[in-house]
């Protein structure tokens, strides 16, 4: 620990702390802009400069480390003047069209101006050219970019994708894919982590709001909505609920109030996914234990950002992916076949909206394989952030309305489905069901939680030994299944390297594209809460534990589906409607032209 003085206050701080961290610890909040939590400190915006006695220049407090005996002043005339000028400089190269910007009142640049007491624009000059790049998932407007480079850190350093970087020099600097290429021609996974960290309106999901309003206004269409598990854990935040408050009932009520004809839960689709994916795993394992050829490890396919990433980064290893569609596309496919038949409707007249914590799902629904007879499984994907805005637009008093339930039949789900939204959850849900199918007994973990794979470490692993198996699974007696779980694309690359080299010791791997899983997805509300992942995960685990049925195969609506429509898991109809294929791409999309 070192001792320094900030604004006359003696402060104890760890040796590797920054001046800003030391100031934060005693309630001195130095204004800041480019810094993002503990993951991005590059001293680019210079807003957080402070006076350090003995230093010739002002120091950026987000990057300069404390020293014993340091004397710091954070609020002098010199410092305030510098911050004002720097702020003026930043907005001199910004459109300042806040009224027409989707980040209005939710913009860090705008808020900073308020905090700094800005009351006029004093510096004017040339602005960079406006360039808007609309990809299926992410929209970039470079004119609003302040070059804080949080997005670059998210993409290059956290996800280790590196689809965007700083291009050009000086005033012409711009964050962009190399050569100024459009994002959807690059190896961008569409995970949307860049849109979560962007402080301004430069990066956003590509909005589907208007197409949803339009469908809702069209009397000839039945508009069906489904909501992913992670949405309920975060939708409350934009309405002032503390981070980690589950708002399932409010959400269902709001969706009904907005005019959706059916309000379904993607948890139902998650239970269905476990039936298909668990069966697929058992098929592969059965083949392996009986000496037949089987591609192992099998890897989960619920996360479309991860799917696009593997197609770019590991195009030779696509055989390891489960052929299952993701839960919301499975559910979309069932809505437009099974449910349409029940309703006696032409699937063309159904409009399926998925509310997702994810931006990549916007990309996913327009893949040609995500449909049947030319009809897409899902017609629009709203992020949690978009839904929150639509609820406001609809004039719904979210906090004060009575709670409601999801509609039948696709609103019924088990606890296993809730935890699909957090890293380790898909694996745990699968193991809960697979263990029962093989041994007839629940998985031998406290409260059904496979503890080694719960938590936020980059790579987690567990071993499950099958003992006293049911007669039809005699070949599994004494077999130990090794599983691994990772979230974030950086972790996926670590596991895939071994898979690619044939050295992977695992049978089953769960990958979620965003660090922490869907609760921290690219479509989730932006938050300043440091431990937001833990809090949102807790919300999902509490949903799981609050349910009477906690294993997917117990879901009576799913059992009914198999009985009435699909026959058996991984059967002929499933194969046709619920399973998919993948496309080798390569880093530069060079494999797209490969002959099949």
Partner 1 sequence: MAKYMRRLESVSDLEQVKQDFLEETSNYSYTVIVCGGTGCISSHCGEVMTALKKQYVTRGLREEARIIESGCLGLCALGPTVLVQPGNIFYVNMTPEKIVQIVDKHLVGGVVQTQYTYFDEASGEHIPCMDDIPFFKDQIKIALRNCGSIDYDSIEEYIAHDGYQGFVKAVTELGREGTFEELKKSGLRGRGGAGFPTGVKWESGFRQPGEQKYIVCNADEGDPGAYMDRSILEGDPHSVIEALMIGGYTIGANKGYVYVRAEYPIAVERLQNAIEVARGFGLLGKNILGTGFDFDLEIRIGAGAFVCGEETALLNSIEGKRGEPRQKPPFPFQSGLFGCPTIINNVETLANVPVILTKGAEWYASYGVGRSKGTKVFALAGDIKHSGIIEVPMGIHMRDIIYTIGGGIKNNKEFKAVQSGGPSGGCLTKDHLDVSVDYESLSAIGAIMGSGGLIVMDENTCMVDTARYFMDFVQDESCGHCVSCRIGTKRMLEILQKIVSGHGEPDDLENLKILADVIKDTAMCGLGQTAPNPILTTLRYFRDEYEAHVVDKKCPAHVCKDMLTYEIDPDVCKRCSLCSRNCPANAISGGKTEPYHIDQDKCVRCGTCISHCKFGAIHIR
Tokens of 47: 């807003």
Residue nearer to partner 1 on the CB measure, 121 or 349: 121
Site for partner 1 contains 46 (CB under 8 A): yes
Q: What is the DSSP string of 197-211?
A: H-SSTTEEE---HHH
Site for partner 1 contains 452 (CB under 8 A): no
Tokens of 183: 């994002």
* Residues 369-408 as x/- pattern, contact with partner 1 by CB under 8 A: ----------------------------------------
**Cβ within 8 Å of residue 126, ≥6 positions away:** 171
* Closest residue by Cα to residue 452 from 466, 467, 431, 433: 431
Task: Provide the minimum distance between the beta carbon of 66 and partner 1 in the complex, in angstroms, as a whole number.
Answer: 12
How far apart are the C-alpha atoms of 186 and 73, rounded to whole Å? 46
Between residue 169 and residue 188, which ones bind partner 1 under the rule CB under 8 A? 169-173
- The stretch among 20-28, 39-47, 97-105, 189-197 that binds partner 1 (CB under 8 A) is 39-47
Among 7, 25, 43, 547, binds partner 1 (CB under 8 A): 43
Site for partner 1 contains 121 (CB under 8 A): no
Site for partner 1 contains 254 (CB under 8 A): no
Tokens of 166: 């700083």
**Cβ within 8 Å of residue 215, ≥6 positions away:** 221, 223, 351, 353, 379, 380
Site for partner 1 contains 39 (CB under 8 A): no
Residue nearer to partner 1 on the CB measure, 70 or 570: 70
Task: Provide the minimum distance between the beta carbon of 145 and partner 1 in the complex, in angstroms, as a whole number.
Answer: 12
Between residue 74 and residue 93, which ones bind partner 1 under the rule CB under 8 A? 78, 81-82, 85-86, 89-90, 92-93
Site for partner 1 contains 49 (CB under 8 A): yes
Among 8, 27, 100, 125, binds partner 1 (CB under 8 A): 125
> Residue 263 in 3-state DSSP?
strand
Between residue 350 and residue 369, which ones bind partner 1 under the rule CB under 8 A? none
Torsion of CA 113, 117, 120, 123, to 10 degrees: -60
Helices 304-313, 489-500: crossing angle, 10 deg rounding: 50
Site for partner 1 contains 123 (CB under 8 A): yes
Task: Provide the minimum distance between the beta carbon of 89 and partner 1 in the complex, in angstroms, as a whole number.
Answer: 4
Residue nearer to partner 1 on the CB measure, 44 or 251: 44
Per the omega criterion (within 30 degrees of 0), is the bond before 121 cis?
no
Task: Provide the minimum distance between the beta carbon of 125 and partner 1 in the complex, in angstroms, as a whole number.
Answer: 5
- The stretch among 62-70, 332-340, 446-454, 517-525 that binds partner 1 (CB under 8 A) is 62-70
Distances from the Cα of 260 to the Cα of 59, 252, 254, angstroms: 54, 10, 9
Task: Provide the minimum distance between the beta carbon of 142 and partner 1 in the complex, in angstroms, as a whole number.
Answer: 13
Angle at 334 between CA 332 and CA 339, to 5 degrees: 110
Q: What stretch of H or E contains 425?
A: helix 425-439
Task: Provide the minimum distance between the beta carbon of 210 and partner 1 in the complex, in angstroms, as a whole number.
Answer: 34
- How many residues line the site for partner 1 (CB under 8 A)? 35
Residue nearer to partner 1 on the CB measure, 90 or 512: 90
Residue nearer to partner 1 on the CB measure, 104 or 178: 178
Where do runs of H (alpha helix) occur along 119-179? 150-152
Between residue 136 and residue 155, which ones bind partner 1 under the rule CB under 8 A? 146-147
Residue nearer to partner 1 on the CB measure, 125 or 402: 125
Site for partner 1 contains 44 (CB under 8 A): yes
Burial of 168 (0-12, 13-18, 19+ CB in 10 A): exposed
How far apart are the C-alpha atoms of 64 and 565, rounded to whole Å? 64
Block residue for tokens 């996913």: 364
* Closest residue by Cα to residue 427 from 476, 486, 475, 477: 486
Site for partner 1 contains 109 (CB under 8 A): no
Please report, as ranges, the residues that interact with partner 1 according to CB under 8 A: 42-47, 49, 57-58, 60, 63-65, 78, 81-82, 85-86, 89-90, 92-93, 123, 125-126, 146-147, 165-166, 168-173
């Amino acid at each position: 620990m070192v001792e320094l003085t900030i604004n006359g206050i003696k402060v104890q701080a760890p040796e590797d702390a920054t001046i800003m961290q030391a100031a934060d610890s005693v309630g001195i909040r130095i204004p800041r802009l480019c810094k993002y939590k503990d993951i991005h400190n590059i001293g680019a915006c210079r807003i957080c400069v402070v006076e350090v006695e003995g230093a010739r220049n002002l120091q950026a407090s987000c990057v300069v480390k404390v020293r014993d005996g340091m004397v710091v002043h954070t609020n002098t005339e010199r410092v305030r003047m510098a911050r004002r000028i720097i702020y003026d400089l930043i907005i001199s190269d910004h459109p300042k069209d806040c009224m027409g910007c989707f980040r209005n009142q939710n913009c860090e640049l705008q808020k900073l101006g308020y905090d700094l007491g800005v009351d006029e624009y004093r510096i004017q000059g040339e602005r960079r050219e406006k360039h808007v790049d609309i990809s299926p998932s992410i929209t970039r407007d470079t004119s609003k970019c302040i070059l804080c480079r949080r997005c670059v850190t998210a993409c290059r350093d956290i996800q280790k994708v590196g689809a965007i970087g700083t291009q050009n020099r000086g005033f012409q600097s711009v964050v962009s894919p190399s050569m100024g290429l459009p994002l959807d021609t690059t190896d961008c996974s569409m995970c949307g982590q860049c849109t979560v960290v962007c402080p301004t309106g430069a990066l956003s999901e590509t909005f589907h709001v208007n197409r949803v309003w339009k469908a809702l206004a069209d009397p000839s269409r039945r508009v069906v909505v489904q909501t992913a598990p992670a949405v309920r854990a975060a939708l409350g935040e934009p309405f002032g609920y503390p981070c980690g408050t589950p708002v399932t009932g409010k959400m269902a009520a709001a969706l009904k109030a907005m005019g959706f004809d059916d309000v379904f839960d993607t948890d139902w689709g998650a239970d269905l996914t476990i039936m298909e994916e668990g069966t697929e795993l058992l098929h592969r394992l059965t083949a392996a234990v009986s000496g037949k050829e089987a591609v192992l490890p099998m890897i989960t396919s619920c996360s479309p950002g991860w799917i696009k990433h593997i197609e770019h980064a590991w195009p030779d290893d696509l055989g390891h992916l489960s052929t299952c569609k993701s839960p919301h596309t499975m559910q979309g496919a069932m809505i437009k076949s099974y449910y349409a038949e029940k309703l006696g409707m032409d699937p063309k007249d159904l409009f399926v909206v998925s509310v997702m914590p994810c931006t990549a799902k916007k990309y996913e629904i327009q893949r040609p394989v995500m449909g049947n007879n030319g009809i897409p499984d899902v017609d629009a994907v709203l992020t949690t952030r978009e839904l929150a805005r639509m609820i406001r637009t609809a004039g719904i008093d979210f906090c004060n309305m009575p709670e409601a339930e999801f509609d039948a039949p696709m609103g019924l789900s088990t606890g296993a489905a809730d935890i699909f939204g957090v890293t380790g959850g898909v694996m745990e849900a699968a193991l809960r069901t697979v263990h029962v199918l093989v041994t007839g007994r629940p998985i031998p973990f406290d409260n059904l939680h496979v503890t080694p794979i719960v938590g936020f470490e980059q790579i987690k692993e567990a071993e499950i030994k099958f003992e006293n198996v049911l007669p039809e699974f005699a070949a599994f007696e004494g077999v130990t299944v090794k599983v691994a779980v990772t979230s974030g694309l950086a972790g996926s690359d670590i596991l895939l390297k071994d898979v690619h080299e044939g050295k992977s010791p695992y049978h089953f791997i769960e990958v979620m594209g965003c660090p922490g899983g869907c609760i921290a997805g690219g479509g989730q509300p932006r938050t300043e809460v440091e431990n937001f992942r833990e809090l949102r995960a807790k919300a999902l685990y509490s949903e799981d534990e609050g349910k009477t049925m906690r294993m997917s195969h117990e879901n009576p609506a799913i059992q009914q589906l198999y009985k009435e429509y699909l026959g058996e898991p991984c059967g002929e109809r499933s194969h046709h409607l619920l399973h998919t294929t993948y496309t080798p791409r390569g880093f530069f999309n060079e494999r797209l032209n490969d002959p099949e």
